[in-house]
Amino acid sequence: MSSPEPSYIETCRNGQIYEKIEKALQMIKACTLCPRKCGIDRTAGETGVCKTGSTAVISSFHPHFGEEAPLVGSGGSGTIFFTHCNLMCNFCQNYDISHQGLGDEATDEQLANMMLILQNQGCHNINFVTPSHVVPQILSAVEIAASKGLSVPLVYNTGGYDSVETLKLLENVFDIYMPDFKFWDPEIAKLTCDVLDYKDIACSAVLEMHRQVGDLEINKTGIAVRGVLIRHLVLPALMAGTDKVMTFIAEKVSPNTYINIMPQYRPCGRAFEIKKLARPLSGKEYEEALDLAKQAGLKRLDRRERVFIG
């Protein structure tokens, strides 16, 4: 399979990107960008749950070699880590970034330049980490970067708490979606993220992403060019509802879904406040999660060497 031209190039060429930018900016004037629907005017400097106004805040950007194999290849995935978050998991392994706000403001022009730097360093894609609350800024920066020669695919690397209305603005801009599907049980989502509707939101979001780009497509060099890649972090005692998440993906999304069942849970942030989350995942629990995925009919599992503590 050859590598097609990324969708955003034509969207910028035909001018549709400007309509998308304008719609996204309108959404943050009484913010409904994500399912939190804070309703504040971010263009006037007000901030809601994500603590972000009209300017994106970025903690770091660099080639990343620890992502899934189809994203990394030989040149790495060009990750841009946005500060703050719309989901705010209490066990976040990047707690200093998501909760404590480690990072610096960046203009859309600066964000565009970061993309070009990563491309020039040989990265196979631009991987926006935690992008749900900064969609207008990303769209604006993509238009700038495309006009200066950006030509690699874009990855929307999200916690899965995304509005379908906002995702529709990203159609023909993002070729690769990489959502987490974190929880099935509303009570666990409420306990860890203070949202009861995570499952319903994530189900709708993943289905919309798959409608846009389909199953993950990988070119002849082993690099992802288009499609959905889903991540699921296994929690201690399988309290994330792994069995139900896997069944939903296999039956409602696609049995050909590429999925990374992640074993790296360890207590971070405020996880120690919840007894069941106050210990690392065991190897046995991880293997059980893999078995549940296979029993559901999923075969495209990202599998690398795992190291467990305890």
Can you give the CATH number for the domain in which 67 is found? 3.20.20.70
Residue with tokens 């995942």: 281
Q: Give Cβ neighbours of residue 256 (< 8 Å, ≥ 6 apart).
A: 215, 299, 300
Closest-CA residue to 38 (of 23, 54, 49): 49
Does 297 fall in a domain? yes
The pLDDT of residue 4: 87
Closest-CA residue to 86 (of 42, 127, 123, 44): 42
Does 310 fall in a domain? no
pLDDT(185) > 60 = yes
Cα–Cα dist 42/45, whole Å? 5
Does 308 fall in a domain? no
Does 1 fall in a domain? no
Q: Are strands 56-64 and 77-82 parallel, antiparallel or unpaired?
A: antiparallel
Residue 157: pLDDT band (50, 70, 90) is very high
Cα–Cα dist 285/292, whole Å? 11
CB-neighbour burial class of residue 164 (10 A; exposed 0-12, middle 13-18, buried 19+)? middle
* DSSP class of 307: -
Q: 61: which strand partners?
A: 80
Residue 56: pLDDT band (50, 70, 90) is very high
Total domain count for the chain?
A: 1
Does 26 fall in a domain? yes
The pLDDT of residue 2: 56
pLDDT(75) > 60 = yes
Residue 303: pLDDT band (50, 70, 90) is confident
Cα–Cα dist 161/28, whole Å? 17
The range of the structural domain enclosing residue 65 comes to 7-301
Cα–Cα dist 153/5, whole Å? 8
The pLDDT of residue 194: 94
pTM: 0.95
pLDDT(310) > 70 = no
Does 307 fall in a domain? no
Instruction: Please state the rounded mean pLDDT for residues 288-306.
Output: 88
Instruction: Please state the rounded mean pLDDT for residues 44-72.
Output: 96
Q: Give Cβ neighbours of residue 267 (< 8 Å, ≥ 6 apart).
A: 91, 277, 278, 279, 280
Closest-CA residue to 64 (of 76, 75, 55, 53): 76
Does 57 fall in a domain? yes
Does 309 fall in a domain? no
